[in-house]
Structure 1
Amino acid sequence: MEVKTVKFKFEKLRIWKDAMDLGEDIFKISSAFPKEEIYNLTSQIRRASDSIALNISEGSILQSNPEYQRFLGYSIRSIAEVVTCHYKAEKRNYIRSDEFDLLYQRCFDLMNMTIAFRKTLNS
């Protein structure tokens, strides 16, 4: 099978790559949440974390800059949702404080990178 070198433009974005990695890590971490959380916190944090990368990619395809900025805004809001879910998970003792701190920092960094990228679309 021939390997294609054509890429979607979002695949080149660090924010998309970081969002993809964050989503996968959250999926693994949330797998250890109690079974009674499967339709509550586990589902919510997984959907929110996946939404970050999904909105980055969706907004990049055939969108005007204002429309792309809107999708990046959805990603930023999803990051805030993930952080709130992390707080819930820590308060319920589903994650350790050191895990919380690492995930919090990753979300904070991704939010700032996404905001900075969004501002470049004004140019």
Structure 2
Amino acid sequence: MSEEILNKEKIHVKAFNTLIAYQKGLELVDMIYDITSNFPKFETYELGSQLRRASTSVIGNLAEGKSQLYTKKEFSFYNNSLGSCGEIECWLEVCWRRKYISEQQYIDLKSRTIEIKKLLISYLNKLSTK
């Protein structure tokens, strides 16, 4: 179901899991959890944690934004999600420079992150015209 009616005033909550950026974000989360499981032990609660938290923040903010009743709040959460994408790019570069991930993993994960950023910018542009 893409929408739920919450009460008799017909307040609609849109389903966040239908967003393409959310679906791609979930895939990115899975990939990041997989690669960070191979990081050195001392990075488990440092760089690995930062990268995992940034990736889950992308989808968390998308879910929270899509669940808002007001466009300005939805915009704000999508903007936060966009910021988390930037954080992912930062941590991926550090991971690559520290040789925790291969160049190919870096390129693949970064391109997936950029794809999500493009979708978010599209959502933000659409919301800004409402």
If the length of structure 1 is used for normalisation, what is the TM-score? 0.91
How far off its partner does 1:6 sit? 6.5
Q: Which of 34, 48, 57 is matched with 1:51 structurally?
A: 57
Q: Which residue number corresponds to residue 127 of structure 2?
A: 121
Aligned residue type for 2:73:
E
- Counterparts of 1:25-104 in structure 2, within 5 Å, are 25-104=31-110
How far off its partner does 1:102 sit? 0.6
Q: Which residue number corresponds to residue 20 of structure 1?
A: 26
CA distance in 2, matches of 1:62, 1:18: 21
CA distance in 2, matches of 1:61, 1:13: 12
What are structure 2's unaligned runs of at least 5 residues? 4-13
CA distance in 1, matches of 2:88, 2:68: 27
RMSD: 1.3
Aligned residue type for 1:97:
E
Q: Which residue number corresponds to residue 108 of structure 1?
A: 114
Runs of 4+ in 1 over 2 A off after TM superposition: 5-8
How far off its partner does 1:62 sit? 2.9
What are structure 1's unaligned runs of at least 5 residues? none
Give aligned pairs, total. 119
User: Rg: which structure is higher?
Assistant: 2
Aligned residue type for 1:11:
N
Q: Could you say which structure has the higher strand fraction?
A: 2
If the length of structure 2 is used for normalisation, what is the TM-score? 0.87
Instruction: Classify the secondary structure of the residue corresponding to 1:121.
Output: helix
Deviation per CA, 1:20-56: give whole Å up to 9, x if none: 1111110001111100001110000000000000000
CA distance in 1, matches of 2:127, 2:69: 11
